[in-house]
């Protein structure tokens, strides 16, 4: 329907301050909400041919280990439109051996890690999965994945306890609990240990995370390298235990890894294992228990067969509501020409890198471009099944309408012209900023800078004037925005909800369901700044 002139009567925007959670309870349909890449590098630099404990610890940032290359993250977000990065770190660096596993951190290492996570989530608006890349082991990563004491192994006097693991997660989650773009991955690839102990450690981590007040999504692994193909079908399989996990917020999913080579290791160039059939039993198990899963690692070699196999895998995930996402293995700032997956000459997924001796196109140009990119959903995590509890009071906040200079002179018959498009987008942008300012006046949060809200409003308007109000959207976007306005009386005012098309097209930075959380809604068009 055409945009009504009654739209002009809107003099304020009421936005509920919601922290929406992607609740994954039984009966709630899912889809591919997360798609992206692993960032491997924070766990580098500790290998020892003699398995000497402490080798490479704490290590030199930028030399022995690093978390992300910011320019690579920029490329993935802008060019590939992904919305998820799984960022590896090492628990022995976060919790040095002199401290032991627990709530005491190496603040230098944590600071570098947080800088990477903040860049992904705050600067780029994507999601970050925190990935302790420790194989459910702690104290000797010198020959990972085989060295180190199994966490919770009471027969090993050197082993960290399950309680220590809970304290670790309580501390880490507490530090990120206000960042709704963070996802907690409990552990990378537990293996060769009692599955009952994996369950106990998983539950301890869940308990620690929730006790910290963190409400975000948690990803729990299984045993046997958390393989999707091996989730069922043998004694003490993950399927016999992992349905027993409990989360009071029901915001929990299973993380599985599924490579397509002969032994599921990701070390061979050829893809001979069909993902869809190998995941069929897991899919049935997820359906039985009303659970969801994400494929945290997958990959293939630099060949057309692997590209086709990856396409089939991602198609299968998209066709089954039990799966909510995937991240490919792997990019990272320190790989150079080395392979991260699947054959000596496959290279890695880091943009700008080469493979083999440095003369072969790298994995980003080949495997990512042909095997991953075609399956990246065009709409990632922009809607959700149902809202979750709010982390702040759900009180509507009224914002002043901001009008471009030429808006008041517009003819009423020109209601769908570019002037109104600018009005809509700029109003949303300013309202979002004002919402952030109002959020920070909450007595539980500190204001930054001490600037008054009225001064911020002036700054916002000055900014819009500087860029000549070139905050634009398409006619179709505006039409669907208006069509999908939801008018309900809450007793305190009228609540408006953005339509999906607006959320889908306004910005590549908004890749999640957290419409109520303050975030940058729109950027000026390139011509406004160039």
Is 255 a catalytic site residue?
Answer: no
DSSP state letters, 479-508: HHHHHT---EE-SSSEE----HHHHHHS-T
Handedness of CA 43, 47, 53, 58 (dihedral sign): negative
39, 180, 189, 350: the catalytic one is 189
Cα(149)–Cα(208) distance, integer angstroms: 21
Q: Where are the beta strands (DSSP E) in 362-405?
A: 397-400
Q: Chain-centre distance of CA 315, in angstroms?
A: 20
43, 255, 258, 297: the catalytic one is 297
Cα(80)–Cα(349) distance, integer angstroms: 12
Q: Going by C-beta distance under 8 Å and a sequence separation of 6 or more, which residues neighbour residue 412?
A: 5, 8
Cα(387)–Cα(394) distance, integer angstroms: 12
Cα(36)–Cα(57) distance, integer angstroms: 29
Cα(175)–Cα(178) distance, integer angstroms: 8
Residues 243 and 289: beta-carbon distance below 8 Å: yes
Across the strands, what pairs with 525? none
Is 462 a catalytic site residue?
Answer: no
Cα(367)–Cα(365) distance, integer angstroms: 7
Cα(67)–Cα(116) distance, integer angstroms: 6
User: Could you tell me whether strands 182-185 and 397-400 are parallel, antiparallel, or unpaired per DSSP bridges?
Assistant: unpaired
Tokens 């920070």 -> residue: 440
Closest CA to 331 of 136, 90, 82, 115: 82
Is the N-terminal amide bond of 174 cis, ω within 30° of 0?
no
Cα(325)–Cα(372) distance, integer angstroms: 13
User: Could you tell me whether strands 84-89 and 218-220 are parallel, antiparallel, or unpaired per DSSP bridges?
Assistant: unpaired
Residues with catalytic roles:
189, 297
């Amino acid at each position: 329907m055409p945009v009504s002139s009654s739209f002009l009567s809107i003099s304020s925007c009421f936005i509920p301050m919601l922290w929406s959670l992607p609740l994954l309870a039984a009966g709630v349909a899912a889809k591919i909400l997360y798609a992206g890449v692993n960032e491997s590098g924070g766990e580098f630099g500790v290998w020892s041919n003699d398995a000497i404990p402490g080798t490479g610890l704490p290590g030199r940032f930028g030399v022995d280990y690093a978390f992300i290359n910011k320019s690579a993250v920029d490329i993935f977000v802008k060019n590939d439109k992904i919305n998820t990065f799984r960022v590896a770190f090492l628990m022995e660096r976060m919790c040095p051996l002199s401290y032991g596993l627990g709530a005491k951190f190496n603040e230098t290492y944590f600071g570098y890690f947080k800088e990477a996570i903040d860049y992904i989530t705050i600067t780029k608006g994507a999601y970050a999965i925190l990935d302790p890349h420790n194989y459910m082991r702690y104290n000797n990563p010198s020959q990972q994945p085989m060295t180190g004491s199994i966490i919770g192994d009471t027969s090993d006097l050197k082993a960290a306890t399950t309680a220590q693991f809970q304290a670790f997660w309580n501390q880490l989650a507490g530090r990120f609990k206000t960042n709704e773009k963070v996802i907690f991955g409990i552990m990378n690839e537990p293996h060769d240990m009692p599955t009952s102990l994996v369950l106990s450690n998983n539950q301890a981590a869940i308990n620690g995370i929730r006790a910290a007040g963190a409400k975000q999504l948690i990803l729990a692994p299984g045993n046997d390298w958390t393989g999707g193909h091996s989730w069922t079908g043998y004694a003490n399989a993950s399927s016999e235990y992992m349905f027993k996990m409990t989360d009071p917020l029901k915001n929990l999913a299973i993380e599985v890894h599924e490579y397509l080579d002969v032994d599921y290791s990701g070390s061979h160039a050829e893809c001979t294992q069909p993902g869809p059939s190998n995941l069929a039993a897991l899919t049935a198990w997820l359906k039985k228990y009303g659970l969801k899963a994400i494929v945290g690692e997958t990959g293939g070699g630099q060949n057309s067969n692997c590209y086709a196999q990856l396409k089939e895998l991602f198609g299968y995930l998209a066709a089954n509501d039990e799966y909510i996402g995937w991240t490919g293995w792997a990019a990272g700032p320190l790989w150079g020409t080395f392979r991260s997956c699947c054959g000596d000459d496959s290279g890695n997924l880091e943009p700008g890198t080469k493979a083999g001796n440095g003369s072969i196109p790298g994995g980003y140009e080949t495997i990512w471009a042909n095997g991953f990119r075609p399956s990246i959903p065009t709409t990632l995590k922009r809607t959700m099944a149902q809202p979750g509890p709010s982390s702040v009071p759900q009180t509507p906040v009224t914002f002043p309408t901001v009008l471009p200079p030429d808006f008041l002179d517009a003819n009423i018959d020109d209601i769908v012209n570019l002037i109104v498009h600018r009005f809509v987008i700029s109003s949303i942008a300013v309202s979002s900023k004002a919402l952030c300012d109002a959020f920070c006046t909450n007595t539980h949060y500190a204001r930054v800078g001490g600037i008054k809200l009225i001064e911020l409003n002036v700054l916002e308007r000055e900014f819009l004037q500087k860029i000549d109000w070139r905050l634009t959207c398409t006619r179709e976007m505006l039409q669907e925005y208006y069509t999908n306005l939801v008018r309900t009386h809450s007793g305190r005012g009228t609540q408006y909800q953005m339509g999906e098309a607006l959320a889908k097209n306004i910005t590549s930075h908004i890749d999640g369901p957290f419409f109520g959380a303050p975030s940058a809604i729109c950027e000026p068009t390139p011509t406004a700044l160039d």
